Amino acid sequence: MTHSTSTRPQSFQHRPPTDTGECSCPIHADSDPFTAPLGVRFADHVVVEPIDRETASGVYEAHHTYMGSLPSVNLAHHGLYFQDSLVGAITYRYPLISKKRIRYGVDGELCPEPVEIDNLPEAIRGTARRVLPSTDTPVVDSEVVAGDTIVEAARICLGVRMPNLASAALARSQERFLANDDRDTRFLLTWVRSDYDGAMVRALKDKGWTCTGYREPGQASNREDKPIRERYKWRFLCPVETDRGQSTLARWSA
């Protein structure tokens, strides 16, 4: 698929190179990596390896749609590789929260916080009905968990256009992070911009993630202003033990 200069999101958290097509980031420094077209099975060729902060930062600066900088403190940086070529990056960190209330349904499943979809902006109501679990499920229990038992996938970014790559790469990265994690991690957290939908949301759900609510627009008083903070974002959580029993990457190979 060719790169587009349109400002409308075309794939999950991806910004194409400049109009000239020139890019000196770690992905494109030597040449454009090979990608597979829609319909070609590729999941077995997606590999995740640790990368350093400098490499991750170069990927985000060149290609992340709205957060080109890195958090100051991180737990791990993953390089996403397809056929031995770097194509993206994912960074994990502790979220900037001290605690979080978790709600559970009858069968122990995660439940969203109370949400009145009709009170949301009209532009995101349709997406809200797709991503949020039914609010008809009764909340039968809740608990408050410490912030250091939650790990956030704070940056998820691709530097190429390739159907379903983001989904397969996130699944592979998630599995590797948890396999090497010796912390008391109970939940994974990530945020999805309200105008993103499709393969990434399906991938999150397939890997045991649940949309539990949203963040309203608003700048942080103690951090640099960012345009993304003027948008709604969906909050997705994944219980760690649930993830370890979820499906494989086969669904995302074509």
pLDDT at residue 20 greater than cutoff 70: no
Residue 148, domain extent: 43-252
Q: What does the mean pLDDT of the chain come to?
A: 79
pLDDT tens column, 73-98: 899 999 999 888 999 999 999 998 89
Task: Look at the alpha carbons of 11, 17, 20, 22 in this order and tell me if their dihedral is positive or negative.
Answer: negative
Number of domains in the chain: 1
Does residue 11 lie within any of the structural domains? Answer: no
Residue 19 lies in a domain: no
Could you tell me if residue 210 is inside a domain?
yes
Check: CB of residue 70 under 8 Å from CB of residue 57: yes
CA distance 140 to 137: 9
Confidence of residue 67 (pLDDT cuts 50, 70, 90): low
Pick from 120, 85, 118, 115: which is nearest to 103 by CA?
Answer: 115
What is the C-alpha to C-alpha distance for residues 62 and 164, in angstroms, rounded to an integer? 21
Q: How far apart are CA 217 and CA 205, in angstroms?
A: 24
In this structure, is residue 15 part of a structural domain? Answer: no
CB 110 within 8 A of CB 102: yes
Is pLDDT of 69 > 90?
no
The reported pLDDT for the residue numbered 224 is 58
Any domain includes 47? yes
Tell me how far apart the alpha carbons of residues 98 and 145 are, in angstroms, rounded to a whole number: 9
In a domain, 13, yes or no: no
Q: Assess if residue 26 is contained within a domain.
A: no
* Residue bearing the bigger pLDDT, 106 or 244: 106
Three-state secondary structure call for residue 116: coil
Task: Give pLDDT tens digits for 121-172.
Answer: 898 888 888 888 876 778 999 999 999 999 999 888 888 888 778 878 888 8
Instruction: Calculate what percentage of the chain has a pLDDT beyond 90.
Output: 34
pLDDT, tens only, 202-248: 778 888 899 999 888 754 554 555 555 567 889 999 999 755 455 44
Q: Residue 18: inside a domain, yes or no?
A: no
The CATH number assigned to the domain holding 172 equals 3.40.630.30
